[in-house]
Amino acid sequence: MLSAILPYYESRFGNASSLHWAGREAREALEKAREAVAETINADPGEVIFTSGGTESDNLAVKGVAYALKRKGRHLITSSIEHPAVLESFKALEMEGFKVSYIPVDRDGIVDVGKLEGEVRPDTILISVMHANNEVGTIQPIEEIGDIAERRGVYLHTDAVQTMGKLPIDVERLKVSLLTISGHKIYGPKGVGALYVREGVEVKPILHGGGHEGGLRSGTENVPGIVGLSVAAKYAVKEMDETVHRMRSLRDRLIRDLVDQVPGSILTGHPVKRLPNNAHFCFPGIEGESLILALNELGVAASTGSACSSRKKEPSHVLLAMGLDPVAARGSLRLTLGKWNNESEIEYAVKAIAETVEKLRGISPVTR
């Protein structure tokens, strides 16, 4: 990937909007990248808009549709466990007079589809439900929700940042109107992403300027990052079957061994319908932040929830929405495997976690 990116830093540094030879060279790379990304999700190249990452793509999808269709209605639907980039976008729209229905989830974190359909009304203009949860890894029934959205004439957006390269993504099969992906989750560059916008879907830009990216996202395109994203996306899809099989095997061992070796551990998220690289636990009696810091000293990189909000000290909104006790939710641990993890690392991590949890419980006032 680096060999594909470097030329656009070293010598092919033209602005893709310029008409001279250097600009045309950059434009050619940009459009080839667009074609490559589109192919990985079964979309047309013209339906792919490049952005600075998942957060911008989510904001553009949610706010862009709301602003474009507010003449039709001001009612929006989302789940109670979305990524902050989606939830905060909806909260911002509520401040502007839009009405939002937050759909509950069950104990495993799966959206109540019946409740969702019951919330659709004549003035509903958008449904946004993530493909899989970024904390507990639960996979959502997007195809089923897509059927509802199509039948009721409502746009459907899904944040697929977590699922790219881990689950097959076909925008036609999912019946989504908009879909978010990000480079860094598939070993691509940070600070680059894309938004799929189905042809004919109405979206208003939230960044204004020179009208780049079909008028939906102004700003000089990050050509090196976009090229890197396209290469990463191609490899993610090409290697998906092999990578997923190996990660799922390691994840299952991680879950099994931790449940066996840590008394009172709670596996959160659906036991089967979950991302192949995700293992999320709650360990009652300890503070998740203390566990993360202790594990860091032992060389185990983990988090208490979303990496984007890991510095927040409140219990995860995802775990609370799933019905977990706030005290138990504070003792959460999110482990996500990478394509290069191996058996010995799983064994080491389990031992480190088990010993650290026991130690922390021994000094915790909660367990005394």
Alpha-carbon distance of 57 to 207, in angstroms, equals 11
In residues, how long is the chain?
A: 368
Alpha-carbon distance of 287 to 315, in angstroms, equals 10
Alpha helices, DSSP H only, in the chain?
Answer: 2-5, 7-10, 21-40, 54-69, 84-95, 113-119, 142-152, 171-174, 223-238, 240-261, 288-297, 317-321, 326-329, 343-363
- Specify whether the CB–CB gap between 291 and 283 falls below 8 A: yes
Q: Residue 79: which of 104, 109, 108, 96 has the closest Cα? A: 104
- Residue 149 token pair: 């959205």
The residues that bridge with 102 in the sheet, in sequence order, are: 78
Instruction: Count CB-CB contacts under 10 A for residue 36.
Output: 20
Q: In sequence order, what DSSP letters do the residues of 176-216 get, joined into one string?
A: -SEEEEESGGGT--TT-EEEEE-TT-----SS-SS-TGGGT
- For residue 229, the SS3 value is helix
**308 included as an active-site residue:** yes
- Residue 308 token pair: 């984007």
Catalytic-labelled residue, pool 22, 167, 308, 352 = 308
Alpha-carbon distance of 255 to 334, in angstroms, equals 12
Alpha-carbon distance of 338 to 278, in angstroms, equals 10
Alpha-carbon distance of 19 to 271, in angstroms, equals 54
Enumerate the active-site residues.
Answer: 308
